[in-house]
Amino acid sequence: MRLTRYFLPVLRETPSEAQIVSHRYMLRAGMIKQASAGIYSWLPLGYKVLRRIEQIVHEEQVRAGHIPMLMPTLQSADLWRESGRYDDYGQEMLRVSDRHGRDMLYGPTNEELITDIFRSHVSSYKDLPLTLYHIQWKFRDEIRPRFGVMRGREFLMKDGYNFDLTKDDALHAYNRHLVSYLRTYERMGLQAIPMRADGGPIGGDYTHEFLVLADTGESEVFYDAEITDLKFGDRAIDYDSVEACQAVLEEFTSRYARTDETHDEAVFAEVPEARRRVARGIEVGQIFYFGTKYSEAMGATVQGPDGAQVPVHMGSHGIGVSRLLGAIIEANHDENGIIWPEGVTPFHCGIVNLKQGDDDADAACESLYQALVGKGLEPLYDDRNERAGGKFATMDLIGLPWRITVGPRGLKNGVVELTSRRTGESEELPPEAAVAKVAAIYEGR
């Protein structure tokens, strides 16, 4: 993409309504524009990152054997009356009526809709296990939408639902989700720690929230520092193996890590003092096994092996796709702007032409651009007629991990400059070598 042909409405001023750094940078980098409280338009740069995050979520869900689909945003109130949640949900639910006076709502989540689909089409245990998911916009009329996309009213969520014959099978689905989430967040350059959360009115130990540590997080968290040394990495995992998934769950949840809702001072005191941490975190996902709550209320049963009808065991598992942009920026920035992890960057590499209009510099930039495209990469070429300082400031703000700087002086010596946004370190090297190096960094991503 050439910047002169792109739509990147960068703001010079820091918008006064933004209280936290990710919100400020998303507005300043022209990624989002507020449409009304807690509701945003995704401008091209923000949309690009959102799509990359979605893509990673899809890939990891499919890898775990979960099946993508798409349910609507508007739902009929009738299903929610069946589960009993229509009245319980309160003012967070946006209710509308259609021209016939039918009660509808903008879905805050999808347990009812998916359970209805399940009961309409599945009648035998032989069709289990089954895990369906979608990535769809949700609406929750939050009392205090704030921090930009972090706590929006309209937000994008991946929500998945497992249907299993027995509790044990459903717990395997739970563990599988835990593993797939660890992989998902790591691919985005994030450490998200599974922490024991509150099961709410349903109770039970089977819920974990995934938290990204950040001072601006809304949750207070308590954990054993050892947990931050754990990495899933690129180890292979057989998602069908009950033992393998269970082992990962044990590895990642055996140390103390809880949100304030489940925090227990007495148990926490057993962690050696030097390792006890109290901090803040951003909830970027949650997994939940809730048994037969919805299947019983809504008659989602299957014929079991012995012929009897039994309600299925279910769980639901969410990832805050749009919130993740904020969380990633909170965890990856400096005073000049965003620093995208390679896994989610909107463009792989920036090209800055120090002397636009100079025949040699223009030609060198063009050929760099073509060479990067030839490697399957997407560069962003700043071809504006602007001072170098302004170009660097824009590149730093929008946070592309790599920048190639081209100027007449370097070209005389046959070199360009390759700079890492994260370390600020630069090296001079021939243009072909710079392309090869950037291509190698992204190989396999």
Residue 263 Cβ vs ligand ATP, minimum distance, rounded to whole Å:
15
SS (H, E, C) 267-303: HHCCCCHHHEEEEEEEEEEEEEEEECHHHHHHCCEEE
Q: Assess contact for 318 and 283: CB atoms under 8 A.
A: no
Among 3, 79, 157, 188, indicate the residue that binds ligand ATP (CB under 6 A).
157
Residue 21 Cβ vs Mg ion, minimum distance, rounded to whole Å:
23
Q: In the structure encoding, which two tokens stand for residue 83, read together?
A: 């589960």
Q: Which residue carries 């949900």 as its tokens?
A: 89
Q: Does 109 bind Mg ion (CB under 5 A)?
A: no
Q: Does 316 bind Mg ion (CB under 5 A)?
A: no
* Stretch of residues binding Mg ion (CB under 5 A), selected from 278-286, 292-300, 383-391, 421-429: 278-286
26 binds, among Mg ion, ligand ATP, none (CB under 5 to 8 A by kind): none
Residues 176/182/187/190 CA torsion (nearest 10 deg):
160
Residue number of the CB atom closest to Mg ion: 286
Q: Assess contact for 10 and 29: CB atoms under 8 A.
A: yes
112 or 383: CB nearest ligand ATP: 112
Residue 296 Cβ vs ligand ATP, minimum distance, rounded to whole Å:
21
259 or 301: CB nearest ligand ATP: 259
* Stretch of residues binding ligand ATP (CB under 6 A), selected from 45-53, 152-160, 186-194, 412-420: 152-160
286 or 345: CB nearest ligand ATP: 286
Q: Assess contact for 352 and 403: CB atoms under 8 A.
A: yes
Largest CA distance in the chain: 82
Q: In the structure encoding, which two tokens stand for residue 443, read together?
A: 């190989």
What's the rounded Cα separation, in Å, for the pair 225 and 245? 23
Among 107, 148, 320, 337, indicate the residue that binds ligand ATP (CB under 6 A).
320
> Any bridge partners for residue 309, and if so which?
303
180 or 322: CB nearest ligand ATP: 322
Residue 306 Cβ vs ligand ATP, minimum distance, rounded to whole Å:
36
From start to end of 29-179, where are the E strands? 32-36, 39-42, 67-68, 74-76, 94-97, 103-106, 130-139, 154-164
Among 152, 346, 350, 431, indicate the residue that binds ligand ATP (CB under 6 A).
152
Binding mask 256-295 for ligand ATP (x = CB under 6 A): ---------------------------xxxx---------
* Stretch of residues binding ligand ATP (CB under 6 A), selected from 148-156, 227-235, 248-256, 406-414: 148-156
Residue number of the CB atom closest to ligand ATP: 320
Size of interface with ligand ATP, in residues (CB under 6 A):
15
Helix (H/G/I), strand (E/B), else coil: 54: helix
Q: Does 23 bind ligand ATP (CB under 6 A)?
A: no
Q: Does 192 bind ligand ATP (CB under 6 A)?
A: no
Q: In the structure encoding, which two tokens stand for residue 318, read together?
A: 């969410």
Q: In the structure encoding, which two tokens stand for residue 78, read together?
A: 């009738």
Query: Positive or negative, the Cα torsion across 154, 156, 162, 167?
Result: negative
Q: Which residue carries 């063009």 as its tokens?
A: 366
The number of residues making up the chain comes to: 445
Helix (H/G/I), strand (E/B), else coil: 131: strand
Binding mask 13-32 for Mg ion (x = CB under 5 A): --------------------
Q: Does 140 bind ligand ATP (CB under 6 A)?
A: yes
Residue 319 Cβ vs ligand ATP, minimum distance, rounded to whole Å:
6
What's the rounded Cα separation, in Å, for the pair 305 and 133? 26
Q: Which residue carries 């990147």 as its tokens?
A: 8
Q: Does 286 bind Mg ion (CB under 5 A)?
A: yes
Q: Does 318 bind ligand ATP (CB under 6 A)?
A: yes
Where along the sequence are the contacts to Mg ion (CB under 5 A)?
A: 286
Binding site for ligand ATP (CB under 6 A): 109, 140, 142, 151-152, 155, 157, 283-286, 318, 320, 322-323
